[in-house]
Amino acid sequence: MNDKDIITADEVMLACMNKINRFTNLIIPNVKDSFFGIREADLLIVSPAGFCWEIEIKVTFSDYKAEFKKKYAVSYFMGDFRLKKKIFAIPAHIFKAHEEQILELLPDYAGLWLARWHTTHYSDGPYSFLTICYPNPREPKIKRKNECRKLTESEIENLKRIYALKYYSLLNRKVNSERGGER
C-alpha cells in the first residue's frame, strides 16, 4: 500500500459529499451540539423534503469496530424518528482487508459506502479525484414514513446556524494561520 491508498477522514467526507447532490440537499459536517446530545454525526444530510439521514465515517478497522461497542451505536437509530437512513463510509482498502468482519458488524439497517481514489485520463494528462465506489457493498434500509418524520423548520434553521458557525470558525482559523496568528 502506498501513500495514495491512505485516505483520511476529511477525504472520505469529501468523497461522500461528491456523491450526494450538494445543490439540493443541506449537508452539515460534524453535528452534535443540541441536535444529538452525546453523539455526533460526521455528516448529516437534509433532503429538500425535510428528511434527514446520517453518514458515519471511519478510516481504520479498529475505529469501525469501536463504534459498535458504544452504548448508543445501534439502538439510537431505530429510536430516533428524525433519521430516515444511516450509512457508514470507509476507505475501500480497509474493506478489502477486513470484508467479512466489517459486514458482520454492520447493522442490518445500515448501508456501506467505500471511498477510493479514481484516476481518469484526459488529453492534458491524468486527473485524480475521490469517489464512492459503485455498486456499494450494501445500500441502507430506508425507514417507512410512519417510522420517521420530517425535520421541523426550527430544527432545519438550527442546523443551518450550526453550519454557519462551523464555516465562520474554519474561515477564522484559515485567516489567522495565513497571517501567522496576527489579530
Domain count, the chain: 1
Mean pLDDT by 10 residues, the chain (183 residues): 71 89 88 66 90 92 88 57 88 94 91 89 78 81 83 89 85 82 55
Q: What is the CATH number of the domain that holds 135?
A: 3.40.1350
Structural domain boundaries enclosing 136: 3-149
Asked if 73 contacts 56 with a C-beta cutoff of 8 angstroms, the reply is: no
Asked if the structure places residue 154 within a domain, the reply is no
User: How many other C-beta atoms can be found within 10 angstroms of the C-beta atom of residue 21?
Assistant: 11
pLDDT at 62: 95
Asked whether residue 11 is assigned to any structural domain, the reply reads yes
Per-residue confidence (pLDDT) for residue 41, from 0 to 100: 83
Q: Does 35 fall in a domain?
A: yes
Residues 6+ apart with CB under 8 A from 104: none
Nearest partner of 94 among 46, 57, 140, judged by Cα: 57
Residue 77 included in any domain = yes
Q: Please report, for residues 5, 7, 100, the alpha-carbon distance to residue 2 in angstroms, rounded to integers and kept in the order given.
A: 5, 11, 23
Does some domain include residue 156?
no
pLDDT at 113: 94
Strands 83-91 and 52-57: parallel
Q: How many CA atoms lie within 13 A of 111 on its CB side?
A: 20
44 found inside a domain: yes
Query: Does residue 173 lie in a domain region?
Result: no
**Residue 73 located in a structural domain:** yes
| pLDDT, position 137 | 82
